[in-house]
Amino acid sequence: MNIVITHTNLTRGGGAETYLLNLVQGFCAAGDRVHLVLTKRDHSLSLPPECTVEMVRAWWVPQKLRPWFLDRQFAKRIEAKPDWASVSLSRNRGHDVAICGGTHRGFLRAMQRELSLGDRLQIAVEQRSYATAGRVLAHSQLVADEIRKDYQISEDKISVVYPAVDRMRFRAELRAQRAQWRTRWKLPADKTLVLFPSTGHERKGLPLVIEAMRRLPVDRYALVVVGRTAPKIADGLEVISLGFVDAIEQVFAACDLTVMPSHYEPFGLVYVESALCGTPVIFGENAGAAEVLPPPMGIKLTRRSPELLAELIVKSVGQIACGDAEEIAVPTMHEHVAAFKRVLELARQSRR
């Protein structure tokens, strides 16, 4: 199958970008050709030889007008390849499949933000993307419900396919080398380590985590931040910022607990990856991964209270997520690609 995929960035860090890279590799491993249309690319991220890349220059367009601009530019690119299946990861119109890893209305509601002019424009572009797509692929039932209720898209048009995880990379056996990983990443050997993996600290709940950690003994607990560097914290809390790491599975295995109480987490693949490494997770009230993580692998924070979160951290440390990994209902990349291609075939049939 020949597939053209449109998205803004292929860079390090964000969950959408990691998913895009995995998806491209999965399609190409299945024998498909992929053509990417991007606005920004990190050339240190290697792509398979079966993948070609076309760039759209959008740096000069004001941020608030960019969704409208890219909607038109991406539409031109897929019209130029009428025989190719088309996939949008950036909420653009006219594709066979629009991938939805979260909605803007859902985000605004969770963050309790008022609608701005830019928000209204983004929602309008998003609405048209779902309405004109052959199918909408949602990354969780939480997202599917938002698409149906907030955007009035028929349930028959929505398919839920959970993101894939590499079970060979993320596995509980890594915990046997915890001491080695702590030494490699220069993590204290004598403290309970709470991991916060994030590129968007406000939405992911870092202020709440910091307040919870302040209620724990600083000589026994430390906070490890992976992704965007943590802001400078006043005395009374040890914070270790590792930045972006390529071997995050080693950090999962080195830590005692992953805590990311996001205001809005349409899925949250890091929760699944952590649990597969044997490290239990605490997530917020709006997390799609809650649909696939059975206790004690995943613990939901039901109220955004630093006291309650501190309590949960103490209670959860030591409760190694040792449940059967098969209970975690996420597909391998091979299974995800196979399911995705079935959705693509349905979408193309509906548009003929």
Question: What integer pLDDT is reported at residue 325 of this predicted model?
Answer: 64
- Domains of the chain (ranges; CATH) run 2-164+332-351 (3.40.50.2000), 172-327 (3.40.50.2000)
Listed in order, strand segments (DSSP E) in 174-325 are: 192-198, 221-227, 239-243, 257-260, 281-283, 298-300
Question: What integer pLDDT is reported at residue 55 of this predicted model?
Answer: 95
Question: What integer pLDDT is reported at residue 318 of this predicted model?
Answer: 65
CA distance 87 to 132: 12
Question: What integer pLDDT is reported at residue 117 of this predicted model?
Answer: 86
Task: Output the pTM of the full model.
Answer: 0.90
CA distances from 129 to 45, 68, 97, 184, 246 (A): 28, 11, 9, 45, 33
Q: Cβ(143)–Cβ(266) under 8 Å?
A: yes
CA distance 51 to 27: 9
Positions in the chain short of pLDDT 70: 13-14, 234, 318-326, 352
CA distance 129 to 307: 42
Question: What integer pLDDT is reported at residue 320 of this predicted model?
Answer: 60
Kindly tell me the burial class for residue 5, based on how many C-beta atoms sit within 10 Å of its own C-beta (0-12, 13-18, 19 or more).
Answer: buried
| DSSP per position, 257-293 | EEEE--S-BSS-HHHHHHHHTT--EEE-SSBGGGGT-
